[in-house]
Amino acid sequence: MGLFVSLHAQTPNCYRIYLSDKNNNPYSINNPSEFLTQRAIDKRSRFNIPVTEQDLPVNPQYKQQIMALDMQMQVLAVF
């Protein structure tokens, strides 16, 4: 006698969204302690790595607008 196994899993749609616009960001490179840890700031200082606009976090307004599209959406990571 053979064995037959059927698995049906509901998997949500996954999306990867890249945001590069840093306009209207509430954070400023002039105050990196608002978005970087003291350890990160110290390390950058030690290696002469400047804080640039690329280091700014995703604008919280953008994240809210994306989340408003589907209240069941789950954010896995923000870089």
Answer yes or no: is pLDDT of 9 > 60: no
Decide: residue 25, CB within 10 A, 0-12 exposed, 13-18 middle, 19+ buried: middle
Residue 5 has pLDDT above 50, yes or no: no
Work out the average pLDDT over 6-23: 70
Task: Select the more confidently predicted residue: 8 or 66.
Answer: 66
Residues 6+ apart with CB under 8 A from 26: 59, 60
Give per-residue pLDDT as tens, 16-70. Answer: 888 888 888 999 999 999 999 999 999 999 999 999 999 999 899 988 888 898 8
pTM of the model: 0.69
pLDDT at position 2 over 80: no
